[in-house]
């Protein structure tokens, strides 16, 4: 929450900076020299772009690649202006170079609109791989930003630019909506900052499509846009200080599309989402499906009805979904976690619950997800609930989860023999686990061992 407030505070500060420049429009000129604003903006945008591109390069999901190209378009537009235009170094100045930031902003709107579309997994899977998108997109953006500097005749006319700005505005609005949904799910400062940034650019491009803001000088307008551009970078930095792990933040932006599509009944989306979590934490590979299989078998032995079994299956599959918001450095750390790191790790329960709770089709799994680390004796987390106060779904998932974690090989341990794992679970009956659930697992044991072995093979 403090992070979100800090993101909003920096937004206010950046906009205030732009507003200070505003009243001195005309002969007096800007308070902050345009060069300073342009250099700072271009530098921040280039840094932010470099980070997002590096992360997008390693991800299977296409949306981060498209977001990275949006950032690159805006950063390159500003960089060209700084290098080429007389307000900067004045190299290769041409009659069109002052319009290049505008072209970059329009291209950015196109990419951000595409990012909103590609956040739907059914669209995402049909796009080329993220690396192909990055390479082809970089060439395209470089061409449209550099061509008018080399040959000013290639710069589109005012009407064409206004039309394109309108379309770009719609793209930014779509992205703003997608980021706002991401923020509703996880409430990360980076998501809030991206939402406000996209809203600012939607406003800016739509204003340009309407012929600019009356009475506002172009440099005042540009400093305001730079404020909106610097905001996501600030949001990411603030969040990075609180929870190191830029990758988790980028993944956080693509999460809602996957969850919504699952809601709409796309089974592929469920797999896409689980694959994203497994990408993020390879130790989870196969873990969720084995836990789900075991949990459902326990539930069947307990004669749960069909809808309750569905809840158990869903909760088991989604139980570690909140790990998508936990930094990889913590998830993959080979040694013991420090107390602070463990506090962050524990949050995967509440993150997961938040993700699941807001989605009507998945909300029935919400307690199963949020409470899967509670203990029968009340010594668990995050709520320290005790006994029957913990939902039955969560008590079943807890047993299946720990059993599978014990028999699986991890970076810090070998997989236990099923009999040893079962003995450990039995030792925890009445303290860690619901004794009734443990009893069912014991009855299942013979068949279960075969299931676990064949699934792990
Ligand atoms: Fe967990
Ligand atoms: Fe787990």
Residue 385 CA to ligand 1 centre (angstroms): 16
Looking at the domain 2-242, which fold is it?
Rhopdopsin 7-helix transmembrane proteins (1.20.1070)
Ligand in closest contact with the CA of 368: 1
Are the beta carbons of 77 and 101 closer than 8 angstroms? yes
Residue 424 CA to ligand 2 centre (angstroms): 17
Q: Which residue has the tokens 């009956």?
A: 429
Are the beta carbons of 77 and 104 closer than 8 angstroms? yes
Which pLDDT does position 170 carry in this prediction? 95
Are the beta carbons of 438 and 422 closer than 8 angstroms? no
Ligand in closest contact with the CA of 405: 2
Residue 250 CA to ligand 2 centre (angstroms): 22
C-alpha distances (whole Å) from 392 to each of 142, 425, 433 are 57, 17, 11
Residue 131 CA to ligand 2 centre (angstroms): 31
Ligand in closest contact with the CA of 289: 2
Ligand in closest contact with the CA of 352: 1
Residue 348 CA to ligand 1 centre (angstroms): 7
Residue 337 CA to ligand 2 centre (angstroms): 17
Ligand in closest contact with the CA of 408: 2
Cα 270 to Cα 276: distance, rounded to the nearest angstrom: 10
Cα 183 to Cα 1: distance, rounded to the nearest angstrom: 12
Domain ranges of the chain: 2-242, 247-456
Write a three-state SS string for the chain: CHHHHHHHHHHHHHHHHHHHHHHHCCCCCCCCCHHHHHHHHHHHHHHHHHHHHHHHHHCCCCHHHHHHHHHHHHHHHHHHHHHHCCCCCCCCCCCCHHHHHHHHHHHHHHHHHHHHHHCCHHHHCCCCCHHHHHHHHHHHHHHHHHHHHHCHHHCCCHHHHHHHHHHHHHHHHHHHHHHHHHHHHHCCHHHHHHHHHHHHHHHHHHHHHCCCCCCCCHHHHHHHHHHHHHHHHHHHHHHHHHCCCHHHHHHHHHHHHHHHHHHCCCHHHHHHHHHHHHHHCHHHCCHHHHHHHHHHHHHHHCCCCHHHHHHHHHHHHHCCHHHHHCCHHHHCCCCCCCHHHHHHHHCHHHHHHHHHHCCCCCHHHHHHHHCCCCCCCCCCCCCCCCHHHCCHHHHHHHHHHHHHHHHCCECCECCCCHHHHHHHHHHCECCCECHHHHHHHHHHHHHHHHHHHHHHC
Torsion angle of the four alpha carbons 322, 325, 330, 334, in this order, in degrees rounded to the nearest 10: 60
Residue 51 CA to ligand 1 centre (angstroms): 29
Ligand in closest contact with the CA of 380: 1
Residue 316 CA to ligand 2 centre (angstroms): 8
Residue 286 CA to ligand 1 centre (angstroms): 14
Which pLDDT does position 405 carry in this prediction? 92
Which pLDDT does position 406 carry in this prediction? 93
- CB-neighbour burial class of residue 272 (10 A; exposed 0-12, middle 13-18, buried 19+): buried
Q: Which residues surround ligand 1, an ion (CB under 5 A)?
A: 320
Task: Enter the pTM of the model.
Answer: 0.63
Residue 123 Cα to chain centre, angstroms: 17
Model confidence pLDDT, tens digit, residues 392-429: 999 999 999 999 999 988 777 788 998 899 999 999 99
Which pLDDT does position 234 carry in this prediction? 78
Residue 401 CA to ligand 2 centre (angstroms): 5
Looking at the domain 247-456, which fold is it?
Hypothetical protein af1432 (1.10.3210)
Residue 405 CA to ligand 2 centre (angstroms): 7
Residue 322 CA to ligand 2 centre (angstroms): 11
Residue 199 CA to ligand 2 centre (angstroms): 37
Residue 452 CA to ligand 2 centre (angstroms): 15
Residue 393 Cα to chain centre, angstroms: 28
Residue 434 CA to ligand 2 centre (angstroms): 17
Residue 405 CA to ligand 1 centre (angstroms): 10
Residue 271 CA to ligand 2 centre (angstroms): 16
Ligand in closest contact with the CA of 381: 1
Flag residues of the chain having pLDDT under 70.
1-39, 85-96, 120-122, 185-187, 212-220, 223, 242-249, 251-273, 359-361, 445-457
Which pLDDT does position 371 carry in this prediction? 96
């Amino acid at each position: 929450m403090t992070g979100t407030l800090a993101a909003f505070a920096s937004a206010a500060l950046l906009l205030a900076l732009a507003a200070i420049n505003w009243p001195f429009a005309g002969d007096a000129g800007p308070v902050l020299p345009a060069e300073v604003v342009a250099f700072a903006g271009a530098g921040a945008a280039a840094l932010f772009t470099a980070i997002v591109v590096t992360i997008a390069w390693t991800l299977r999901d296409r949306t981060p690649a498209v977001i990275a190209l949006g950032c690159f378009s805006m950063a390159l537009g500003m960089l060209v202006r700084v290098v080429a235009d007389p307000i900067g170094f004045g190299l290769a100045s041409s009659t069109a170079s002052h319009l290049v930031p505008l072209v970059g902003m329009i291209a950015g709107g196109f990419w951000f609109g595409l990012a909103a579309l590609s956040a739907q997994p059914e669209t995402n899977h049909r796009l080329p791989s993220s690396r192909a998108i990055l390479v082809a997109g970089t060439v395209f953006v470089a061409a449209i930003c550099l061509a008018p500097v080399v040959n000013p005749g290639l710069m589109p006319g005012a009407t064409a630019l206004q039309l394109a700005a309108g379309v770009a505005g719609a793209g930014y609005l779509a992205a703003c909506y997608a980021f706002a949904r991401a923020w509703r799910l996880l409430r990360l400062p980076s998501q809030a900052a991206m939402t406000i940034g996209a809203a600012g650019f939607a406003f800016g491009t739509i204003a340009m499509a309407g012929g600019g803001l009356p009475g506002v000088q172009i440099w005042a307008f540009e400093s305001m846009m730079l404020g909106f551009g610097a905001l996501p970078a600030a949001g990411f930095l603030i969040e990075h200080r609180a929870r190191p792990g830029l990758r988790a933040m980028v993944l956080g932006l693509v999460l809602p599309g996957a969850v919504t599509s699952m809601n709409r009944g796309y089974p592929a989306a469920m797999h896409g989402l689980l694959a994203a979590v497994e990408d993020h934490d390879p130790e989870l590979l196969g873990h969720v499906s084995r836990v789900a299989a075991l949990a459902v078998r326990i539930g069947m032995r307990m004669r749960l009805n069909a809808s309750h079994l569905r809840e158990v299956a869903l909760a088991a599959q989604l139980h570690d979904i909140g790990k998508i918001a936990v930094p990889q450095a913590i998830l993959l750390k080979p040694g013991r976690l420090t107390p602070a790191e463990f506090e962050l790790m524990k949050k995967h329960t509440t993150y997961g619950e938040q993700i699941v709770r807001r989605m009507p089709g998945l909300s029935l799994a919400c307690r199963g997800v949020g409470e899967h680390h509670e203990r029968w004796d009340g010594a668990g987390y995050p709520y320290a609930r005790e006994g029957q106060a913990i939902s039955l779904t969560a008590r079943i998932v807890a047993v299946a989860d720990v059993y599978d974690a014990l028999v699986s090989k991890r970076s810090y341990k070998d997989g236990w023999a099923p009999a040893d794992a079962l003995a450990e679970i039995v030792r925890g009956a009445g303290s860690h686990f619901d004794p009734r659930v443990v009893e069912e697992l014991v009855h299942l044991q013979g068949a279960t061992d075969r299931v676990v072995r064949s699934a792990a093979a």
